[in-house]
Structure 1
Amino acid sequence: MNSPGPQGHPLDGVRILDLFAGPGGLDVAAHFLGFKSIGIEWDRNACETRYAAGLPTIHADVSVVRETRFDEIPASVDVLAGGPPCQSFSVAGTGAGRVALDTVKDFIHRLVHGEDEAEIDKDLHSLDEDLRTALVLEPLRWLLKAIETEGRDPYKVIVLEQVPAVLPLWEVYAKLLRSGEGRLQGVKYEAECWALKTEEFGVPQTRTRAVLVARLPGDGTVRPPRATHLPFDLRRGKRATAQEEMLPTDSTLPRAGRPWVSMAEALEAASEPDDSPVDVSRLRTEGDMTFFVVSNYGSGGDPKNRGRRLSSEPAFTVTGKISRNKVYKSVADYEVGKSDRFTIPESGVLQTFPHNFPWSGKDQAQQVGNAVPPRLGMHVLSRALRDNTPSDEELTAAATWPAVPRTLSDELRGIGCGDRSRCPADSHKVTRPRPQTVP
């Protein structure tokens, strides 16, 4: 496969703008489908991963680019995509956004119907001091910016994803996009939204995402991506203590249909290439991978209540705290507290990033956890842009990331960061260790 960097200038032929791009889950998906993308990301560490992977990037705040640098977005971009940060909506976060869902719905209507944005921002700030909840409005603001900017056309396709709690907001988005009201200036979309389970699309983890897809009329009704795998049954009951039944047996596997992909299956496949950084030999017992994982979540402070997954099952939702989950090869190891951890490449594989994806910068576990699983992204983008399902050849190719020349990474860093003067404040600040004092 060719390098992700296009021939000529890196931004030639870019079609997809990925807001809140992170390390590149949607961009990786777009690449394997044959589409070029550019991402906007404010986190320096995620940008370093993107540069190493050859992914065009603007290192900046999404709202700042919209307000003052909109002309830097290539005119060839006709697809708006992204997943606004989900901390305030997430079960694992503070939940401020979930409490304020009805209020945020009202903000969406106020924005579309032309109320002064400064007043809207003032009210949003009173709702959420750090304005993370307000970021869910950014895709709409980008759409309105394109509609209201001379020489720009409305985006042909919109693809948004978030945690399940945001589905009611996507439903409001979809209704307004279908209406063409207010500042939409009569621009109407075919728009639908769904809650999608990642394991039903071949992702070796259980994770539900709220997805919205909208298209300008002419390409038919917007249909949901077609699931390719069976759902994982979460109603197996809690295991209070380690037992022999925690280890996989034939009875733990689905008997019919295309089963979900297990942790063992995904990691085994990722370890096969000669140059793979995934090495599962430490997880084997007499040649078999029969480990189990104890989650760091859902304990209520009681370690006995922590969830457990077998190697023959999908992983728990991969979050930025995945490195805290403990991996045990046997019940005996569990009983004596002898545990292991997933490495960053292994964590990335459970998110369906290629085994050799060049994770870079700091906070790599957080980068992995914040990303959209590329395999789910392939299914969503393929349905949105081509109205079909990714081919087996495309999905197979997505297991390996092409080599990226250092010269391309340096060129992309120059485009994304330039002289750093327009990067987020203090994002390139280097923290130096304090000098040691001599006693």
Structure 2
Amino acid sequence: MTSTASHQSILDKPFVLDLFAGPGGLDVAAHALDIPSLGIEWDRSACLTRYAAGLDTLHADVSAVRREAFESLPPEINMLAGGPPCQTYSVAGHGTGREALDKVKKYIDRLLAGESDEDIDEELGSLPDPRTAMVLEPLRYAIQATKSPNREKRPYDIIVLEQVPTVAPLWEHYAKVLRETGLPDGTKYKVVVGVLSTETYGVPQTRSRAVLIARREGLGEPSLPGATHHAYEPKNWNRRTDQAASPVHQPTLDEDSPETEAQETGNEDLEHWRSMGDVLAGPTDTHPGRRTPFLVRSNYGSSGVSGRRGVRSNRQPAFTVTGRISRFVVFEHLDESIVYEGARFSMNEAGMLQSFPPDYPWSGTAQAQQVGNAVPPLFGAHLLSAALGLPSPDTDLLAKPWQPATEEQRAKLRSHGCGAADACTAKCPQSQDQVPPRAVPRPRKSDESKKASAK
């Protein structure tokens, strides 16, 4: 792959504001590309991970910062990025966000028409799950930038967003209005939207994401990042035998598969997708590496594609890494007919399957959820590079162990992010706010039938 070192970005001094920053996926990508970034994250444990990793952070609610502290943000920020919470839009959830797509599109139109935040906030409070409205925050930040005296009312030059594939219709609507209507001050953008597969960018995991890249008019046409690796096709792998469905019978783990042959007959410029074994074999400071062939069993699908459920071997990419990664059962292969249940993935291994650097300093609680919620950093590096007009980053961009922050650096970062060197303060989100709202369950068909018969 091509290095970014000798190429000039379309911006002289890129500076990223990462909304919903999580444990650092996009910020790690920016760091690897030598781009400064500031992340806003409300979850305490994710912030602890970020401080330990040396990432500049505000422990705060994204909406609250926009309403109450926007003027305190560095005026040099010229790139807006983020992946809003996906739970209400994900196919794994109850779907309240998916059911509200048309309503959210209308809110987008109303924001761009200049309707007051107060009126819109009052209506957003009626949504069954308030996380659904978070997908509007990037647009609200873009609008707020054009009103900010601290920024001299200067709009963001670049916007980069990613979410689960079901949000693609909203990104398309974003694109339409940013191109045609523009922000209330008249700023318009050139925009591209698409659904991309992370394994085609060197991430050892099948994960599909809806992506939006926008450039302010005058900065050229944006484009989606070009694939660097072949796509993973589960049907080719599963056609070998029916043995892949059973962790007890897997005699062909070390044989070349039809998958490999099928992938290599395509574009000669693309590399083969990376497998779990590719990234987990080598030892790091926190684990010895997995050189023995293994199988992973999961009851969780990949981006809603049922054909990707079941069992995969170390010679395949991981299933979509979610907060359930710690539950994946790992079987290690002893010979042609004997397997045993081995150690489940450590958090560092789970992070490496997301393309985080080895030995990334996961901290706090709910670490598996932090890993699963993160943007894969290598994928993020491709998005940022494409947005800035840089070539594709090296596949091994994040292969080196991460250098954690010193105690002094961590204390300084936390003083900035929380208000104290070793604790949260009153300005941080309160503990009761850290619990996501209970999802509204869908009515059961049997209940609906009972209501109908009662009538």
Structure 2 length-normalised TM: 0.82
Selected match of 1:365 from 368, 377, 380: 368
Q: Which residue of 2 aligns with 1:249?
A: 255
Q: Which residue of 2 aligns with 1:219?
A: 219
Q: CA deviation at 1:154?
A: 0.3
Q: Is the 8 A contact 2:165 2:210 kept in 1?
A: yes
Q: Which residue of 2 aligns with 1:294?
A: 297
Between stretches 56-65 and 245-254, larger displacement belongs to: 245-254
Q: Is the 8 A contact 1:199 1:231 kept in 2?
A: yes
Q: Which residue of 2 aligns with 1:437?
A: none
Q: Which residue of 1 aligns with 2:21?
A: 21
Q: CA deviation at 1:241?
A: 3.2
Q: Which residue of 2 aligns with 1:67?
A: 67
Q: Which residue of 2 aligns with 1:435?
A: none
Q: For 2:337 and 2:94, how far apart are their aligned partners in 1?
A: 32
Q: Which residue of 2 aligns with 1:5?
A: none
SS at match of 1:365: helix
Q: For 1:267 and 1:79, how far apart are their aligned partners in 2?
A: 33
Q: For 1:188 and 1:176, how far apart are their aligned partners in 2?
A: 9
The answer as to 2:281 corresponding to 1:268 is: yes
Aligned residues: 398
Q: For 1:396 and 1:170, how far apart are their aligned partners in 2?
A: 28
Q: Which residue of 2 aligns with 1:410?
A: 411
1:133-152 correspondence to structure 2 within 5 Å: 133-150=132-149, 151-152=152-153
Q: Which residue of 2 aligns with 1:162?
A: 163
Q: For 1:84 and 1:377, how far apart are their aligned partners in 2?
A: 14
Q: CA deviation at 1:14?
A: 7.8
Selected match of 1:319 from 308, 311, 322: 322
Q: Is the 8 A contact 2:195 2:209 kept in 1?
A: yes
Q: Is the 8 A contact 2:39 2:58 kept in 1?
A: yes
- Aligned partner of 1:263: which letter? M
Q: Is the 8 A contact 1:205 1:314 kept in 2?
A: yes
- Aligned partner of 2:146: which letter? I
Q: Which residue of 2 aligns with 1:302?
A: none
1:72-151 correspondence to structure 2 within 5 Å: 72-128=72-128, 130-150=129-149, 151=152
Structure 1 residues 47 and 334 mapped into 2: Cα distance closer, same or farther (>3 Å)?
farther
Q: CA deviation at 1:251?
A: 1.9
Q: For 2:216 and 2:48, how far apart are their aligned partners in 1?
A: 34
SS at match of 2:47: helix
Q: CA deviation at 1:23?
A: 0.4
Q: CA deviation at 1:248?
A: 4.0
Q: Which residue of 1 aligns with 2:288?
A: 279
Selected match of 2:426 from 398, 421, 425: 421
Q: Is the 8 A contact 1:167 1:194 kept in 2?
A: yes
Q: CA deviation at 1:252?
A: 5.0
Q: Which residue of 1 aligns with 2:356?
A: 353
Q: Identity of counterpart residues, as a percentage?
A: 49
Q: For 2:385 and 2:309, how far apart are their aligned partners in 1?
A: 37
Q: Is the 8 A contact 2:296 2:329 kept in 1?
A: yes
- Aligned partner of 2:139: which letter? L
Q: Is the 8 A contact 2:21 2:39 kept in 1?
A: yes
- Aligned partner of 2:294: which letter? F
- Aligned partner of 2:429: which letter? P
Gaps of 5+ in 1: 1-12, 300-304, 430-439
Q: For 1:398 and 1:187, how far apart are their aligned partners in 2?
A: 39
Q: Which residue of 1 aligns with 2:56?
A: 56
Structure 1 residues 367 and 332 mapped into 2: Cα distance closer, same or farther (>3 Å)?
same
- Aligned partner of 2:414: which letter? R
Structure 1 residues 82 and 334 mapped into 2: Cα distance closer, same or farther (>3 Å)?
farther
Between stretches 202-211 and 330-339, larger displacement belongs to: 330-339
Q: CA deviation at 1:244?
A: 2.2
Structure 1 residues 397 and 368 mapped into 2: Cα distance closer, same or farther (>3 Å)?
closer
Structure 1 residues 401 and 336 mapped into 2: Cα distance closer, same or farther (>3 Å)?
closer
Structure 1 length-normalised TM: 0.85
Q: CA deviation at 1:125?
A: 2.6
Structure 1 residues 196 and 399 mapped into 2: Cα distance closer, same or farther (>3 Å)?
farther
Q: Tell me the alpha carbon deviations over residues 351-405 of structure 1, each in whole angstroms, 9 at most, x when there is no partner.
A: 000102111111111110000000000111011013422246xx44553212422
Q: Tell me the alpha carbon deviations over residues 106-160 of structure 1, each in whole angstroms, 9 at most, x when there is no partner.
A: 11112211233333233333232x4100000000000110112232310011000
Q: Which residue of 1 aligns with 2:378?
A: 375
Q: For 1:44 and 1:333, how far apart are their aligned partners in 2?
A: 46
SS at match of 1:193: strand
